[in-house]
A and B are shown apart, each in its own frame.
Chain A
Amino acid sequence: MGQTLAEKVWAAHVVHAAQGEPDLLYIDLHLVHEVTSPQAFDGLRQTGRPVRRPDLTLATEDHNVPTLGIDLLIADPVSRTQVDTLRANCAEFGVRLFPMGNAEQGIVHVVGPQLGLTQPGMTIVCGDSHTSTHGAFGALAFGIGTSEVEHVLATQTLPLKPFRTMAITVEGALAPGVTAKDIILAVIAKIGTGGGQGYVLEYRGEAIRALSMEGRMTICNMSIEAGARAGMIAPDETTFGYIAGRDHAPSGALWDEAVAYWSSLVTDDDAVFDAEVVIDAAALTPFVTWGTNPGQGLPLSASVPDPEAIGDDNERINAERALEYMGLEAGTLLRDIRVDTVFLGSCTNGRIEDLRAAADILRGRHIDPNLRMLVVPGSMRVKVQAEAEGLDTIFTDAGAEWRSAGCSMCLGMNPDQLSPGERSASTSNRNFEGRQGKGGRTHLVSPLVAAATAVRGTLSSPADLEPVGALTSAGPAR
C-alpha cells in the first residue's frame, strides 16, 4: 500500500522506533519566540545541557512587541522582561535572533517562509500552535509545548505518537471574492473544532492547487482550529517557484537535488486516508464567525443562528453562551452586525498578498468614521515591501492605522487590544472569549471582508460596496 504525504515525511525522520514507544523524530527546524521559551532555556541551564543544534534554531520577537514606537523600550515591564530574557538566552546559547527593530523581525510563521527556511519534506516545530502554517510547503509542522521546546533544544528530536491522516479535498474553483480564509473557515465549521483531533490534514483538490503559497499558508495555519495536529499541502511548481532564490533556498546542483526529492512528496495513488472530507469550492461564499470558537461560522449572507434549533445539548449550551458573550441575538443578519475595530494582520493573514487584497478594496475609499482599522504587517519585510508598493498610503488615506510588525491584536499580550464589549472584524485565527482583550468580541473574516467591513461599518463583502466612481465625498452609500 502506498503512503500519504504526511507518512512519507514522518518515515524520513525516524531516528529510533520501538514497539509500544513513540517514534523519536528528527526536527529540521526549530523556531523560537519569547513567550514559550524562557522556561525551556531555564531547564537547560538547570541541567547543564547545551542547545544541540543552534544552526537549526531561529528566534524572533513577536507576541509581546508593540507595533507603535518600536524604537522605545517596551512600556509593559512584564513584556519587556520576556523579550529581554529571550535576548539573554539567545546570546548565552548561541541562537540567532531577530529582535525588535531588525529588518528580519516579524511573526515567527511569516519569517520562516519568507527567508526560504521552510521547505518541503522538513519537520518544523515551534512553541506555538500556528506552526501548522509551514505545512503549506509540504513540511510536517506543528506546535509544541514548552517542555517539548526544551526537549528539541537539548536533543533536536521529539518523541511522537503516530497520527491518523485526513484528506480535505476542495474540488472545483472558487468564485471571485472567495478566498483561502473562507475555505478554511468553512472546513472548520463543517468538521468542528475537535473534528481534526489526532489527524494530520492534507488539503488537496483543484481549488487548493490554484492557491498561491500565501493562500495555502492561511489554510494550513488554521488546521489547529479544527483540532488537527498539522495541515499539509503537497509541494508543486507553485511551491518551488516561491522558494527559489530566497536567502536559505538551495542553489545550483543542490537545488536540482532538492527539487527531485521534493517532487516525490505526494500522496501515492494507492495510499489510504483514515478519513476524507470533500468541499465544493464553487458553493463557497465569504464566511464569517458569529460565536466564540472558530467552528461557529456561517456564510456572510446568513443570520445569527438560533440555539433552540440545535439538537446536541453541549452544542446548544455553547451557542447560547457564545451569543450572550458576543452580545448577539438569534436571527440578526450577519451583514447588520456593526463593528468597532477592524484588524488586518496576524500569521493567518498578515502577508503581502493579504495587504494587497485589502488595499485594492480601500483604494479611493474611506473607512467608516465610527470605527478604527489597524493594519499590521506580519514582518518588517512585508512592511518594507508594502511601503515600496504604496500600500501604506492607501491604508492611511482611507483612515486606517499603519503599524510595525508583530502578532498585535491577534492576542491580548501587547498594547493592541479590544476593550470590554468592543467588537472586531479580525483576519486572525481565534475568536475565543477574551482572545483580543478581556471582554472583546471577535468575528473572524478574510482580508477582503475586513476591508469591506471597514468601509461599510457592518460585516460586509466587497460585493456590498458601491463602485469607487459612484462615491461622493461624504463616503459610501449605506
Chain B
Amino acid sequence: MDAFHTHTGVGIPLRRSNVDTDQIIPAVYLKRITRTGFEDGLFAAWRSDPTFVLNQPAFSSGSVLVAGPDFGTGSSREHAVWALLDYGIRVVISSRFADIFRGNSSKGGLLAAEVTQDDVELLWKLLENEPGASVTVDLEQQTIAARSLVIGFKIDPYTRWRLLEGWDDISLTLRHADEISEFEIGRPAFAPTTR
C-alpha cells in the first residue's frame, strides 16, 4: 500500500447525500475476480446522465470528491473503494461516512476525510464557482486547502498513522501471531467447526 502524506487534485462537488455503495458501483460490476479495472463501474448509473458532475470536462479528471452526508452506506463491497481509487480519486470528503466504507477506505489507501456539513457546503460553493479548482489535502496537518479556504478534517489517529506509514493490515496483525495461537488454546471445547 502506498503511503499517503499530501495530495493535490481537482475537487469534484458531488451534491448528493446518502450515496450508497450500489450507486458508487452497481452489483453487476462485482462479478470480476481481478483487483483492478473497476473505474468504468464508478457511479455507472449516473454517468449516462450528461449533466452528471464527472461528465463535465472541468471535473472529469478530479481526484478529491466532496460529497453529502452518509457517504458509502449499504453493501459492504470494497469494490466501491477500488472503483474510486481506479478512477483516480484519492480523497473523499464528507460530513458522515458509513462505518464499513470508512474501514474499507483505510485498507485501500483512500483517505476518508470527515468535515462538518457547513464546510462541505463551503467547498461545494467554491468548486461550483470555480470549476477545476484544485484542493490540497494534508494528512500530516489534517487540513484541506482550496484557494483561500483552509479547513480541518477529522480522522482517527490510528487510521492516520497507518495511511502515513502505508502499513498493510495483515503484516501488522502477524506481529501478534503468538498471542493468536495462545488464544486458540483457550477457546471453549463446544465451539463449532465446519468439518
Per the bound structure, the CA–CA distance linking A38 and B187 in Å amounts to 29
B13 to chain A, nearest CB (A): 14
Interface contact B179-A16, CB-CB below 8 Å = yes
Interface mask (A223-234 → B, CB under 8 Å = 1, otherwise 0): 010010100000
Per the bound structure, the CA–CA distance linking A53 and B156 in Å amounts to 31
Residue A82 at the B interface, CB < 8 A? yes
| Chain B residues positioned under 8 Å from A257 (CB to CB) | 188-190
Q: A117-B194, A155-B174, A430-B22 are in contact. Are A261 and B188 (CB under 8 A)?
A: yes
B145 to chain A, nearest CB (A): 26
Residue A263 at the B interface, CB < 8 A? no
A38 to chain B, nearest CB (A): 4
| Chain B residues positioned under 8 Å from A55 (CB to CB) | 193-195
| Chain B residues positioned under 8 Å from A22 (CB to CB) | 158
Partner of B76, one of A96, A128, A261, A432: A128
The residue in chain B whose Cβ has the minimal distance to the Cβ of A26 is B183
The residue in chain B whose Cβ has the minimal distance to the Cβ of A193 is B73
Which of A56-64, A269-277, A368-376, A461-469 participates in binding chain B?
A56-64
Residue A307 at the B interface, CB < 8 A? no
Chain B positions 159-195 with a Cβ under 8 Å from a chain A Cβ? 169-170, 172-174, 176-177, 179-180, 183-184, 187-195
Partner of B45, one of A56, A117, A434: A434
| Chain B residues positioned under 8 Å from A258 (CB to CB) | 188, 190
Per the bound structure, the CA–CA distance linking A315 and B28 in Å amounts to 28
Residue B53 at the A interface, CB < 8 A? no
Per the bound structure, the CA–CA distance linking A57 and B78 in Å amounts to 20
Interface contact B107-A147, CB-CB below 8 Å = yes
A422 to chain B, nearest CB (A): 16
Partner of A144, one of B33, B100, B179: B100
Q: A412-B27, A413-B30 are in contact. Are A194 and B73 (CB under 8 A)?
A: yes
| Chain A residues positioned under 8 Å from B104 (CB to CB) | 145, 147-148
Interface contact A38-B70, CB-CB below 8 Å = no
| Chain B residues positioned under 8 Å from A432 (CB to CB) | 20, 22-23, 74
Interface contact B26-A314, CB-CB below 8 Å = no
| Chain B residues positioned under 8 Å from A384 (CB to CB) | none
Q: List 7 A-B contacts (CB under 8 A).
A: A119-B192, A127-B76, A155-B173, A161-B156, A193-B18, A258-B188, A433-B45
The 3 closest A-B pairs by CB, nearest first: A145-B78, A38-B33, A143-B76
